[in-house]
Structure 1
């Protein structure tokens, strides 16, 4: 064939790629490539050498006898493919857990053959999902899970609890409920905070919980020092586990709230233009530590304290993890069996809790198991409220003032008047000096009370804001106790 009759290299690459790969875009505008019949998708803009679409396309072209192409031809072909894909249908990509058709959800096993677990209220099975139903996105944090065992009869749950040092049945059932929540892509789950004395195995217990969902390569990490690095780590995996926390700065506390319930990050796409890149994230979060000091009220509503105790008999790391690796297929199979039963169960959704979806899951779990998971969850939130109050002098002072009110009555004052009243109550007759961080203006006091509103409400003190003809006001009311049996009218 004459030189001028040969097809340009970019045309050969483009035709081959469109014949062997499916290209689509996400709502963020990122274009992905998905091998025909395979559920794993890779961004075509990835410049990495390990597992990138550019690499797999070059290897396929070489193996099929089309030759080796230079970087310019490959770039021109991928630029054209990307432009054509922008007109295709939009489809999301998922890491580890994804919603499917007919009320099912999928769990990515991280295998090269694409086998995944389809979970449905009627049962679970191992399949290769239809690429148009599920598109998996994998990163270096996506570890491989073992094929889950079948017909486990719940033995895996007992094996897991035997390896961890959870302090009592209430903590154990909350840990299992959290794992069940992690299998639901649409359910925000509170962040378990593994705490206990030194030597209780908090880091080991955290790794065991994480590796059920992330494989044996899953691990804990130190909390990043800035928001951008933490968001990058969160976006690259399913479960984000932070180890050995000793304090929670306000910025990190607010970011953790966003991770648990969902948020969006926007950053500049290129330094040469004004385009932006959107990143939506909501991930399961796990924390370990002995004590993190003062907990902010908004984070307290999103935490799940799991207390561990020191084991009576110590084991070597090698023995412990060898037993865990052997038990992991059974543990995963038992968890999937339990997930099927829980999803098929009917339960009333509690309407008084912030994390209502997780509370409903706890109620479903109780219906199946007969355990008191929902009561244990309520008790854990009550303990966290105590921690918030113990660490906040303003909350203590507001509760002290509310105790002087008659039950069922309210008091209205401007924010400046409330600041004067609460400051005087704290200082007392001895004119005790005000602590660092005490509100200095009525506006600051109002903002602090808004943060404390759920915590105070849990102690029977209602705070609300309004306006009359003259000024804005803050209203504080003390709830009346519920009527006793002798006060209730019989019909």
Structure 2
């Protein structure tokens, strides 16, 4: 055979790759490879030590007797494949949970055979999804889940709650609502904060909750020291669980708010001058700790406090986790049964809560089971508002002054005048010094009041601002007298 009749190695590789793999791009331009008939997709530029498409292609070429090729030929072939894939239609890749056709959602079991759970309006099934419907992305954080058991009659939920040390039925109902929310790809859910006395099993309870979704390999981790590492860990998994928090810095608090409700991180792409790499993320978050100190108001609206108590009987770790691994298929099956049941009912969406999607889910859960999750959620938010106020001296001072305003009345001043009035009210007749962090200018006071505005509104004190011909103003108003039945409930 003449040299002209020989196919270059890059063409041999390209022909083999296009015959055995499907290549497509995502909305951000990343090209993925998907083995024919298999739902797992891998980025073709991944250089990971295990499971990269480059290795997958090399192994296929060798096992099928095509040959062993050098790195240059592989690179040239992948460059061509990537360029061709950029002209294809876009498709999303998902980690662990994904939307499907006809109102269904999918749960990735993390299995090598690609079997997943399809949750649809009439039930759930274990299937291998059509690659055009669902493309799974796997990372080192994607653990394997057991095949869930059908027809459990709710037994798994009871088994789970028996192992967890929740102090109240309210915490149990909120934990169940959160787990159902984790199975929804488009529902932002507040972050459970497992708290309780020392020895209450907060870390163990956190592991049990997250491993229902992430498998037995899922584990808690310490909070990263910087936001970049936190975002990288969050984007690579589904449930992120941070253990033993004792302090909540402002940067970490802001990052957690973004994780719960969704955000996008943009960085310069490596080895480029002007291109960027986008990472979008919205993930379920779980926290444990005894006390994190002062909680910022915006994070408080995104938290879900779950109280635990010390167990009366202690068990060994080996015994506890052996039982948990045994019941996990039943627990997952019961959770899937309950998810189908909850999604099938209609319920009114509360319009006064920030996490309206989760509040609606709680209302659906109440309609389906009567657990009282929505009332528990409202009570939990009320407790968090108390925590925010107890940690904010400015909020306490504003509420104290609001008591002097007639119900239904208001007072309007400039921010500088309000600063002088509130500072004098805090200092009192004994002229005690202002605390560290107290606003020093009217502008700083105005910004602080905007931040604590939702917390104050929950206590019947409303902050507003605007401009008149004389200049800017800040208004503090007090709610009118509540109806008699609400007055009784306040005490």
TM-score tier (shorter): over 0.9
State the distance in 2 between where 1:65 and 1:289 align.
Answer: 56
CA spacing shift, 1:363–1:473, aligned 2, 3 Å: same
State the distance in 1 between where 2:271 and 2:69 align.
Answer: 30
1:489 maps to what in 2?
Answer: none
Q: CA deviation at 1:272?
A: 4.1
Match of 2:140, SS?
coil
1:338 maps to what in 2?
Answer: 338
State the distance in 2 between where 1:98 and 1:193 align.
Answer: 25
1:105 maps to what in 2?
Answer: 105
Higher alpha-carbon deviation: 280-289 or 44-53: 44-53
CA spacing shift, 1:271–1:425, aligned 2, 3 Å: farther
State the distance in 2 between where 1:126 and 1:272 align.
Answer: 43
Q: CA deviation at 1:271?
A: 4.4
1:188 maps to what in 2?
Answer: 188
State the distance in 2 between where 1:102 and 1:385 align.
Answer: 40
2:289 maps to what in 1?
Answer: 289
2:32 maps to what in 1?
Answer: 32
1:391 maps to what in 2?
Answer: 391
CA spacing shift, 1:365–1:220, aligned 2, 3 Å: same
Q: CA deviation at 1:39?
A: 0.6
Give matches, 1:406-425, under 5 Å: 406-425=406-425
CA spacing shift, 1:485–1:386, aligned 2, 3 Å: closer
1:379 maps to what in 2?
Answer: 379
State the distance in 1 between where 2:48 and 2:356 align.
Answer: 41
Deviations for 1:404-461, whole angstroms, at most 9, x for unmatched residues?
A: 0000001111100110110010001110100000000001000000010000000000
1:157 maps to what in 2?
Answer: 157
Q: CA deviation at 1:63?
A: 1.1
2:401 maps to what in 1?
Answer: 401
Give matches, 1:246-285, under 5 Å: 246-285=246-285
State the distance in 2 between where 1:170 and 1:361 align.
Answer: 15
State the distance in 2 between where 1:402 and 1:422 align.
Answer: 11
TM-score of the pair, normalised by structure 1:
0.98
Match of 1:24, SS?
strand
Give matches, 1:144-223, under 5 Å: 144-223=144-223
Q: CA deviation at 1:2?
A: 3.3
1:351 maps to what in 2?
Answer: 351
2:427 maps to what in 1?
Answer: 427
Q: C-alpha root-mean-square deviation of aligned residues, in Å?
A: 1.1
2:489 maps to what in 1?
Answer: none
1:141 maps to what in 2?
Answer: 141
Question: Which ranges in structure 2 are unaligned for 5 or more consecutive residues?
Answer: 487-491
Deviations for 1:308-329, whole angstroms, at most 9, x for unmatched residues?
A: 0000000000000000000000
Match of 1:346, SS?
coil
Deviations for 1:10-41, whole angstroms, at most 9, x for unmatched residues?
A: 00111111111111111111100011111100
Match of 2:484, SS?
coil
Q: CA deviation at 1:377?
A: 0.2
Deviations for 1:103-156, whole angstroms, at most 9, x for unmatched residues?
A: 110000000111000111210001111111111000010000000001100000
Count of aligned residue pairs for this structure pair: 487
1:51 maps to what in 2?
Answer: 51
State the distance in 1 between where 2:24 and 2:73 align.
Answer: 21
Match of 1:474, SS?
strand
State the distance in 2 between where 1:51 and 1:394 align.
Answer: 54
1:16 maps to what in 2?
Answer: 16
State the distance in 2 between where 1:121 and 1:375 align.
Answer: 26
Q: CA deviation at 1:475?
A: 0.8
Q: CA deviation at 1:485?
A: 7.3
2:467 maps to what in 1?
Answer: 467
Match of 1:49, SS?
coil
Q: CA deviation at 1:482?
A: 2.7
State the distance in 2 between where 1:151 and 1:371 align.
Answer: 21
1:76 maps to what in 2?
Answer: 76
Give matches, 1:87-126, under 5 Å: 87-126=87-126
Match of 1:312, SS?
coil
State the distance in 2 between where 1:400 and 1:382 align.
Answer: 19
Q: CA deviation at 1:483?
A: 3.3
Deviations for 1:64-113, whole angstroms, at most 9, x for unmatched residues?
A: 11100000000000001001111100111000000111111000000011
Match of 1:41, SS?
strand
Question: Which ranges in structure 1 are unaligned for 5 or more consecutive residues?
Answer: 487-491
